[in-house]
Amino acid sequence: MNQQILAVIVECPAGEGELRLDQFSGLPVPVIALIEGDDRKFHLDLIRAGVAERFHRPLAPRRLIEYLQRLLPDRAPLEQDKRGATILRFAEIRVDVATHRVFCAEQEVHLPPLEFKLLVLLMRQQGQVCSRVQLIEAAWPPGVFVEPRTVDVHVGRLRRSLRQRLNRDPIRTVRSIGYALSQR
């Protein structure tokens, strides 16, 4: 049986001084924080660690299970773009939609599911600016409330992952509108 790790779940108990989440940054899977009490004191630590999602205790197990189910690879038939392509290319970036693999300058980049979906939309809309609403619709399930700032955080993570391989930022910010791929 081929097993795959979907996420790392980290317990963040109340009353702790400083969180030591640096050991989780850079993992190829999302990090989920289970938080007791007010997370404002942990806010920067959580962002630095690349925490994908926070759940406050007491938590509804159903919410956590639904989130984990969204991380599973799609079992539905592959949705093809208008050209019928499953391999998307932009400059030195290559995305294989069928296998959920990303290559930058021929090196594989491991992206969490949300960032992968954001990249696929940006690649399919080459030359066009994708609004935050379009990015939310592409990456999050229907009916889930997502703040525009959340999109900015995930695009930032995607940028960092691509920049590590390309030594440049391939994503252009269009102020007050959204994001687009750029060959600058």
Among 71, 105, 124, the domain-final residue is 71
**Which stretch of DSSP H or E encloses residue 61?**
helix 61-71
Asked whether the whole model's pTM tops 0.85, one would answer no
- Cβ atoms of residues 101 and 94 within 8 Å: no
| Owning domain of residue 45 | 8-71
For residues 40 and 109, membership in a common domain is answered with no
pLDDT value, residue 182: 86
* Residue 80: inside a domain: no
Assigned domain for 113 exists? yes
Are residues 93 and 161 located together in one domain of the fold?
Answer: yes
pLDDT in tens, 67-96: 777 666 543 334 454 445 588 988 899 999
SS3 of residue 50 by DSSP: coil
